[in-house]
Structure 1
Amino acid sequence: MSGLSETERAGFTKILSLMTKCDLLSLSDTVTNKMIVVENITEAKETILAFTKNAEELLRRKKVQRDLIFKYLATEGVAMPPNSEKHMLIKRTLELWSSVKVVDENPQGEAASSDVNCGMGFDPLVLGQQFCQWFFQLLNSQNLSLGQQPQDWGPQHFWPDVKLRLLSKAGSEQMEEFLGADLVSRRFLALTRDERLLFSPNLDPHGLKALTSPHGLVLVAVAGTIHRDSVCLGIFEQIFGLIRSPLDNNSWKIKFVNLKIRGQDALSGTDVAAPALTYNSSELQLLCS
């Protein structure tokens, strides 16, 4: 009976899980014209999905609020300007679902194996996009305010001697350094789980750069916005150094991270909507050497 594709169902399942019980029951009544009485949240979700003829119709419902769609897109690694109107968010969500290129849970491994097969055809930008989608989805899932099941975060995604440099400007400037997979992974966890931050990377060409060094290091630089709930707190720029791990199915692991965070008050007139990288290629090359 449902007119939704598998991808749309999976997407709506995430969006509906962000809704309150009261709104879910009300939405179920609306969708079924009160023909079906549901007993609990699970039944309400199933009923809503079963009686929905198409995805756009459901996204337009009043109870599917703008903020829910914004939050959902952020967890999927899709950056949208914080002031986007609901119709823009709906359009972007439908585009995302129609592209049906379901990102593998672990694009590191996927990117690694496809690269080996095509010899010289390795495109660092494709790896950069896949890596950022994977990394930020994983990191954002630790933020409990999204109501998502946290994914498998931990030191296993980093090299044992990984180094994190964290530079934050919000009023005053602070510089922190962390060494080792355990400390680095815990510092990231503190940002999302404890400080409830949400990272929304800008994967458009001006927000993402990637390049390789002759020694097998891939540099991925990305800019984006940082949110808490529906408030945009500022922007970030992050550079990852990735190296393959032959012991772990040749998957990519993080060797170093430079993270620069600027709060709204330190931005003074910068366009926050879709921040661009301020690093140029020659600065990145220096990091490769």
Structure 2
Amino acid sequence: MANMSGLSKTERAGCTNLLKLLSKADLLSLCDTVTNKMIVVENATEATETILSFSKNAEELLRRKKVSREVIFKYLVKEGVAMSPNSEKHQMVRRTLELWSSGKAVVGESRQAETNEIRQRPSTVMASVSTDMKDEVGFDPQVLGQQFCQWFFQLINSQNPSLAQQPQDWGPQHFWPDVKLRLLSRTGSEQMEEFLGAELVNLRLLALTREERLLLSPNLEPHGLKVLASPHGLVLVAVAGTIHRDTACLGIFEQVFGLIRSPLENNSWKIKFVNLKIRGQDALGGTEVAAPALTYNSAELQLLCS
């Protein structure tokens, strides 16, 4: 078989992971398109290898009709890349190519290596972030907020079976023992739930992605993320984002985290409380949800600090 592929090693590994998100029927159809039906394959593995071999470059493959906007969005979520689900396909293609050229994509064997590394880390929130910051007198709360959100949403989304991804190390160890969760949902009717304690909070949040199969996509732009630090060591991280199931956008969320360092666990940050508001599409009245903004103002967040 003549190998016409112009894919780099990183692009090849990235395309392999992305093609795993296609149904078998779409994968075989794509193989027929790429090879002009000149090659018959017997399974998904052969189809993937053939598609990669006969793709001139990564952009050509990403622009194929069977590689839909929804598939690329799901791939970017798996890689922890924040992207508006209402972005045009060409924007998602460009973002994916940027990811691969930056070398930051977790691909192939390195994905398993990263999973193993995560499992071997201390059971505390953001060990690497706290190590960088614990000795700094004036760390930047905004940087902490950005890094926390990237860590948290990649971690919780990895529990979603629809991503077909190795779940990362989620568990009660990331919360203070007396952590409190307030969950307000407006999806048809309004419902308020409260949970107290690391085990219950951990299980309720886990159910959002593992049982309910939701994907949470945070908006980490300035209008979607606010961070406040109190003099008493509490850092508030408030973030807005969109909620999805498979290819459907179900609504928006606003989530406020209270973070406090644990001096007994290498000064790592652990979650003290979580306030989560969910609004379904029916409660939005047709409002644009591409990149939702926070409705909390600084005064309301200051009250949570007290």
Aligned residues: 288
Structure 1 segments unaligned to the other structure (5+ residues) = none
Aligned-partner Cα distance in 2 for 1:98–1:142? 27
- Distance change (3 Å), C-alpha of 1:112 and 1:3: farther
Is the 8 Å Cα contact of residues 226 and 233 (structure 1) preserved in structure 2? Answer: yes
Q: TM-score, normalised by structure 2?
A: 0.83
- Distance change (3 Å), C-alpha of 1:13 and 1:288: farther
Structure 2 segments unaligned to the other structure (5+ residues) = 107-113, 119-124
Alignment match, 1:114: 132
Match of 1:61 among 61, 64, 68: 64
* Shift in Å, 1:269: 4.4
Matches within 5 A, 1:133-282: 133-282=150-299
Match of 1:44 among 24, 34, 47: 47
Aligned-partner Cα distance in 2 for 1:252–1:8? 35
* Shift in Å, 1:203: 0.9
Alignment match, 2:121: none
Is the 8 Å Cα contact of residues 182 and 195 (structure 2) preserved in structure 1? Answer: yes
* Shift in Å, 1:30: 4.6
Residues 46-84 of structure 1 show CA distances to partners (whole Å, capped at 9, x for unaligned) of 444455443212211222122101222233344444443
Residues 117-167 of structure 1 show CA distances to partners (whole Å, capped at 9, x for unaligned) of 5x2352222221121112111211222122222222221221111110001
Residues 215-271 of structure 1 show CA distances to partners (whole Å, capped at 9, x for unaligned) of 222211100011112111111000011122334343322111000011112112432
Is the 8 Å Cα contact of residues 77 and 200 (structure 1) preserved in structure 2? Answer: no
* Shift in Å, 1:177: 0.4
* Shift in Å, 1:207: 0.4
Aligned-partner Cα distance in 2 for 1:57–1:72? 17
Is the 8 Å Cα contact of residues 99 and 105 (structure 2) preserved in structure 1? Answer: no
Identity %: 78
Aligned-partner Cα distance in 2 for 1:208–1:7? 31
- Distance change (3 Å), C-alpha of 1:46 and 1:216: farther
